Amino acid sequence: MKIWVPCDAAAVACGADEVAAAIASAAGLRGETIEIIRNGTRGMIWLEPLVEIERDGVRHGFGPMTPDDVPALFEDGEHPKALGPVEEIPFFAQQTRLTFARCGRTDPLSLADYEADEGWQGLKRALELGGAQTIEEVTTSGLRGRGGAGFPTGIKWKTVAGAEAPQKYIVCNADEGDSGSFADRMLMEGDPYCLIEGMAIAGLAVGATKGFIYVRSEYPHAIRTLNAAIKAARAAGIIGDSLMGQGPAFDLEVRVGAGAYICGEETSLLNSLEGKRGMVRAKPPLPALEGAFGRPTVVNNVLSLAAVPWILIHGGAAYAEFGLGRSRGTIPIQIAGNVKHGGLFETGFGMSLGTLVNEIGGGTASGRPFKAVQVGGPLGAYHGPDDFDLPVCYEAFADQGGLVGHAGFVVHDDSADMLALARYAMEFCAIESCGKCTPCRIGAVRGIETLDRVAAGDPAAIELLHELCEVMEKGSLCAMGGFTPYPVRSAIRLFPQEFSLSQEAAE
């Protein structure tokens, strides 16, 4: 009997290791021969630990499991946590899983599993096509940077490919620091070879022989999985001196961050990679021309690179058939916070915010009324029910003074204190600012003080706060100071009474 118990950090945090141990011991006691496979997560985090058992070739789910629920798995009769066939659970069945097609189905480190499921086919295709045509496919796909900036990936690759240099680099930005975001972590832990393949294709396309994956130190599980996967891929002759034994050299190295949110900003990341303080660099020069160690560098998010193998296998045009407007393909949405069905939901761009929160997410976890959803991490705006018609795509959110960012959606119920959340946005910016530009470094501190004045009932403080937000937005060097006003201003716009009640009380 085959039994799957996820090894993903979220599943482990909810007790997956204890459940796996209980399954092994229960099977031992009963003399049953079982094979426990530690798969990635399906992304239905509210059901974790989600155990799967194969029956007649179909994988049936049970969750959320505790060790106490284990003995009943081996007994006749309906299990109280039975969920039926996993891939028929509506949250899963409604998705378009391209990037996450394998995640949750396979043993993340099994090269055999990977190969059996379209693994390395994209790289093989790229080796046949050559660099220029590979870039052409990526351009045709309309893929845009999934880290949040949304810059067309094909154009970035073309710039690096056209640059003359003795050494070029592929840098994967895996410094996923936005609250509400965990797709990068899920992919690195659940399907690391997919990222390796995407990076190898990028290296081949632009003529880079070395890649770095810069992972935040808060992700020890992902770091371990990536290191093991790189070692295995190298031993199998996929990467290393020659890609698949027929292409140019390409090797990979994991670099671990050190707890600085700002290193998710690409130029700050490059400085950190070089062993410097993670200070933001002014652009130009573009990293595509002068990036890591002053060499032409592709800096792409995990999800951008992991989308590439599918694009190469199925064609850029097939990828571009999904999506809305200028947002092509699929977006792995992460819905989290105070939501009933939290997890990863990959779908073509265009789903409405209301559908996502109420139908996919199932409303709040607490059962209390919905209040607001913050989209795109700590630098993203809060959106209320009036925005429920907004389709999830880069342009629609930008038009509303917000951003999709890395597509993390954090739901809050009516108990949320918006003044406290606005203050937190400024506080976070003050803690994490790299300090290079004044509007961000000083502005964030003044922002905390001004919000404290608002809370104390100072009637002049709100106007001052708006002015400060304008200075930060227009004057900051990067998105850290530039977008911190988004959550602050949107909170005030949506819930003005929470920023004035204290004034009235004081008056």
Partner 1 sequence: MTEDDRLAAILADHAGREGALLPILHDVQAAYGCVPADCYQPIADALRLSRAEVAGVVSFYHDFRDAPAGKHVIKLCRAEACQSMGGTEMIARLEHALGMKVGETKGDVTLEAVYCLGLCACAPAAMVGDQLVGRASAERIEALVAEVSA
Q: Which residues bind partner 1 (CB under 8 A)?
A: 9-10, 12-14, 45-46, 48, 176-182, 184-185, 217-221, 255-261, 272-278, 292-293, 334-339, 342-344, 365, 374, 378, 408, 410-413, 416, 420-421, 424, 428, 431-432, 434
Distance, in Å, from the CA atom of 188 to the CA atom of 136, rounded to the nearest integer, reads 26
- 3-state secondary structure at position 121: helix
Distance, in Å, from the CA atom of 487 to the CA atom of 464, rounded to the nearest integer, reads 16
Please identify, using beta-carbon distances, which residue of 233 and 335 lies nearer to partner 1.
Answer: 335
What minimum distance in Å lies between the beta carbon of 476 and partner 1?
18
Please identify, using beta-carbon distances, which residue of 141 and 297 lies nearer to partner 1.
Answer: 297
Please identify, using beta-carbon distances, which residue of 138 and 357 lies nearer to partner 1.
Answer: 357
Distance, in Å, from the CA atom of 140 to the CA atom of 153, rounded to the nearest integer, reads 10
Q: Encode 200-218: b = buried (16+ Cβ within 10 Å), e = exposed.
A: bbbbbbbbbbbbbbbbbee
Please identify, using beta-carbon distances, which residue of 12 and 477 lies nearer to partner 1.
Answer: 12
What minimum distance in Å lies between the beta carbon of 152 and partner 1?
27
What minimum distance in Å lies between the beta carbon of 280 and partner 1?
12
Please identify, using beta-carbon distances, which residue of 131 and 278 lies nearer to partner 1.
Answer: 278
Please identify, using beta-carbon distances, which residue of 204 and 333 lies nearer to partner 1.
Answer: 333
Structure tokens at 305: 């690179």
8-state DSSP, 44: B
What minimum distance in Å lies between the beta carbon of 257 and partner 1?
8
Please identify, using beta-carbon distances, which residue of 282 and 431 lies nearer to partner 1.
Answer: 431
Give me the DSSP letters along 232-300: HHHHTTSSBSSGGGTS--BEEEEEE--S-GGGGSHHHHHHHHTTS--PPPPSSSPTTTS-GGGS-EEEE
Structure tokens at 100: 């996450």
What minimum distance in Å lies between the beta carbon of 252 and partner 1?
13
What minimum distance in Å lies between the beta carbon of 233 and partner 1?
21
- Nearest CA to 195 among 229, 165, 166? 229
- Nearest CA to 393 among 359, 356, 346, 348? 348
What minimum distance in Å lies between the beta carbon of 218 and partner 1?
6
8-state DSSP, 48: -
Please identify, using beta-carbon distances, which residue of 116 and 293 lies nearer to partner 1.
Answer: 293
Give me the DSSP letters along 125-186: HHHHH-HHHHHHHHHHHT-B-TTTT--BHHHHHHHHHHS--S--EEEEEE---STT--HHHH
Contact 197, 309 (CB under 8 A): yes
Q: How many CB atoms lie within 10 A of CB 56?
A: 5
What minimum distance in Å lies between the beta carbon of 177 and partner 1?
6
What minimum distance in Å lies between the beta carbon of 189 and partner 1?
9
Structure tokens at 173: 């930005």
Please identify, using beta-carbon distances, which residue of 273 and 313 lies nearer to partner 1.
Answer: 273
